[in-house]
């Protein structure tokens, strides 16, 4: 697809192109599990959220959770994908201690969602389309803890049976940057839809990364799959490491072996996963405990009508109706919370000013505090008050920045801070003229120089007046009045 030379990796023998596809496991937001009535909440005591179905006790039968089906369909609609009216659940067979049934209920040949697409937003403000191959529903496995005991692994089945959406992309990405943009955009769409909380620390979103390299224009090379990478930064590190490893292998006269690999976040490297060598024969077959999943047109159209405005549509609206540029608009829509905050802030105010104060000043403070917009100490209503004071000329731009810093630290309102600190901007001509007269009287030499043609001195005079007013004089007004007085 992309022939952008800047994305190619230079090597001794010439340039290489990196080809990346991602399989993302997204935990479905639901109260109960995919096929049982046990809870999905994070952080419960071990095995406290396990039903006999999840523990694979004999005679237990799975019954599908309506909301999990709805969430998968909504996600499919959000990815502009085909929704399959009939899909089938299969058993994927393998043995591992955290998989009590000896198989995972998944979807193989007939997934619930087929081909779709996703637009990624790149740093230079451009967008690019990445194909979605499919989305299917499946059960999560339990969790194994290997570091609690010298000879034992501990198994907690609370996660076993929780619904996952496996979202598979086409091998359309060509750099770590694009893979990062894909994950950020996918996470944003899931969060806008409310179908997955996107929390990577708690494992709600994990990625398997397929990487191969080729000469530009040639067919696909042999790929390696890096399993279960749980942060966007790690995905990008794993891609860079893996691409270098494969290029070095080939340049040394060797060849890439198709492998499953693990990413080690401590070293930033990948290594072969030994246990997977012979395990690729999953012997899928339709689960005899479950009938095909059939969706009616009414079910799908009902969900379609309930979809919220998604990031791309919101971005287009911000550009069209609020005249924001592509970069600002994509920053504002990247997180649902940011977009909501911005819309509340921009209501009845200048959108560009609101965008600048939000993404420049407030984001700066939030970064400093290590907080997200959702935990912002300054609400949109409070920041709005500050902008109103600024627009009304009650405070100067310089003072407004100080007031915001104070608001972030103290939680007080802009008005209260402006009043207690006496920061109200002086826009009264008489008061400012008084200050100007003092400055002119005290600096006869500079006045002489200015009048003799040294006009750049005007800035110095403005500075003196501002100083005399302790920063409160309206600088535009001071400038204008000074010009008149000095000319006379």
Partner 1 sequence: MPANKPSEIDTATVRRIARLARIAVKDAELPALAKELGGILAWVAVLDEVDTAAVAPMASVHDEVLRWREDRVTDGGYSADIVANAPAQEAGFFAVPKVVE
Q: Which residues bind partner 1 (CB under 8 A)?
A: 30-32, 36-39, 45-53, 55, 63-69, 88, 93, 95-97, 110, 144-146, 148-149, 151-157, 262, 273-275, 278, 281, 283, 286, 288, 290-294
Beta-bridged to residue 263, according to DSSP, are: 270
Location of structure tokens 């799975």: 62
Burial class (CB in 10 A: 0-12, 13-18, 19+), 205: buried
Least Å distance between CB 41 and partner 1?
A: 9
Least separation in angstroms between CB 146 and partner 1: 5
User: CA torsion sign, 394 to 397 to 403 to 404?
Assistant: positive
Taking the complex as a whole, the smallest distance from the CB of residue 121 to partner 1 amounts, in Å, to 33
Q: In this structure, are residues 214 and 171 in contact, taking their beta carbons and an 8 Å threshold?
A: no
CB of 97 to partner 1, least distance (A): 4
Q: Which long-range contacts (CB under 8 A, 24 or more apart) does 299-305 make?
A: 299/73, 300/73, 300/77, 300/83, 303/70, 303/73, 303/74, 303/77, 304/77
Nearer to partner 1, 53 or 339 (CB): 53
Report the SS3 class of residue 177: helix
Q: Which of 173, 208, 205, 210 lies closest to 189 in space, CA to CA?
A: 205
Closest CA to 352 of 324, 316, 331: 324
Q: Which is nearer to partner 1, 227 or 415 (CB)?
A: 227
Locate 79 and state its tokens: 């990815």
| Minimum distance from residue 71 beta carbon to partner 1 (Å) | 9
Half-sphere exposure of 77 (CA within 13 A, CB side): 22
In the complex with partner 1, which residue's Cβ is closer, 58 or 348?
58
Q: Phi then psi for 59, rounded to 5 degrees? A: 85, -5
* Cα atoms found within 13 Å of the Cα of residue 318, Cβ hemisphere only: 29
Residue (112 or 432) nearer to partner 1, CB: 112
H helix or E strand, kind and range, residue 259: strand 259-264
CB of 74 to partner 1, least distance (A): 14
Is 376 in a helix, a strand, or coil?
Answer: coil
Q: Which is nearer to partner 1, 279 or 392 (CB)?
A: 279
Minimum distance, C-beta of residue 53 to partner 1, in the bound complex (Å): 8
DSSP 274: G
Nearer to partner 1, 93 or 269 (CB): 93
Cβ proximity to partner 1, 299 vs 363, nearer residue? 299
Shortest Cβ 374–partner 1 spacing (Å): 25
CB of 75 to partner 1, least distance (A): 16
Q: Which is nearer to partner 1, 293 or 331 (CB)?
A: 293
| Listed residue (165, 68, 24) closest to 107, CA to CA | 165
> Virtual CA dihedral for 271, 275, 276, 277, nearest 10 degrees?
90
Rounded to 10 degrees, the C-alpha dihedral 80/127/263/20 comes to: 80
Residue (209 or 250) nearer to partner 1, CB: 209
Sequence-distant (6+) residues with CB within 8 A of 178 are 7, 20, 120, 122, 128, 130
Compute the least distance from the CB of residue 152 to partner 1, in Å: 4
Q: For residues 156 and 242, which CB has a smaller minimum distance to partner 1 in the complex?
A: 156
């Amino acid at each position: 697809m992309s022939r952008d030379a800047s994305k190619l990796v230079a090597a001794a023998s010439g340039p290489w192109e990196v080809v990346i596809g991602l399989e993302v496991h997204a935990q479905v937001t639901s109260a109960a599990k995919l096929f049982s009535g046990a809870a999905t909440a994070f952080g419960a005591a071990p095995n406290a959220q396990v039903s006999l179905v999840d523990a694979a006790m004999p005679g237990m039968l799975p019954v599908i959770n309506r909301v999990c089906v709805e969430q998968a369909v909504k996600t499919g609609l959000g990815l502009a994908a085909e929704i399959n009216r009939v899909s089938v659940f299969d058993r994927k067979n393998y043995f591992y201690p955290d998989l009590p049934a000896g198989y995972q209920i998944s979807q193989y040949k007939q997934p619930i969602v087929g081909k779709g697409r996703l637009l990624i937003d790149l740093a230079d403000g451009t967008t690019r389309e990445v194909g979605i191959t499919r989305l299917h529903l499946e059960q999560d496995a339990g969790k194994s803890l290997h570091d609690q005991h010298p000879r034992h692994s501990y198994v907690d089945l609370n996660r076993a049976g929780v619904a996952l959406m496996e979202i598979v992309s086409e091998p359309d990405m060509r750099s770590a940057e694009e893979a990062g943009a894909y994950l950020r955009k996918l996470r944003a769409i899931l969060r806008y839809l409310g179908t997955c909380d996107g929390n990577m620390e708690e494992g709600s979103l994990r990625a398997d990364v397929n990487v191969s390299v080729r000469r530009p224009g040639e067919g696909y090379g042999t790929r390696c799959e890096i399993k279960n990478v749980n942060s966007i930064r790690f995905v990008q590190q794993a891609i860079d490491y893996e691409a270098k490893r494969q290029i070095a292998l080939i340049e040394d006269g060797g060849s890439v072996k198709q492998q499953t690999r693990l990413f080690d976040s401590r070293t930033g490297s990948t290594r072969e996963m030994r246990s997977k060598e012979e395990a690729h024969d999953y012997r899928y077959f339709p689960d005899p405990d479950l009938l095909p999943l059939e969706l009616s047109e009414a079910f799908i159209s009902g969900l379609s009508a309930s979809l919220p405005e998604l990031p791309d549509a919101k971005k287009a609206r911000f550009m069209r109706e609020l005249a924001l540029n592509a970069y600002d608009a994509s920053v504002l829509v990247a997180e649902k919370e940011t977009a909501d905050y911005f819309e509340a802030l921009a209501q009845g105010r200048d959108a560009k000013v609101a965008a600048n104060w939000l993404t420049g000043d407030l984001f700066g403070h939030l970064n400093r505090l290590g907080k997200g917009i959702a935990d912002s100490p300054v609400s949109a209503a409070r920041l709005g008050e500050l902008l109103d004071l600024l627009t009304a000329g009650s405070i100067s731009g310089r003072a407004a920045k100080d007031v915001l810093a104070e608001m972030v630290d103290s939680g007080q309102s802009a008005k209260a801070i402006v009043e207690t600190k006496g920061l109200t901007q002086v826009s009264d001509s008489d008061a400012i003229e008084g200050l100007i007269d003092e400055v002119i009287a005290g600096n006869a030499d500079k006045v002489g120089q200015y009048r003799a043609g040294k006009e750049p001195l005007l800035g110095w005079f403005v500075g003196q007046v501002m100083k005399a007013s302790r920063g409160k004089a309206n600088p535009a007004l001071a400038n204008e009045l000074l010009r008149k007085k000095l000319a006379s």
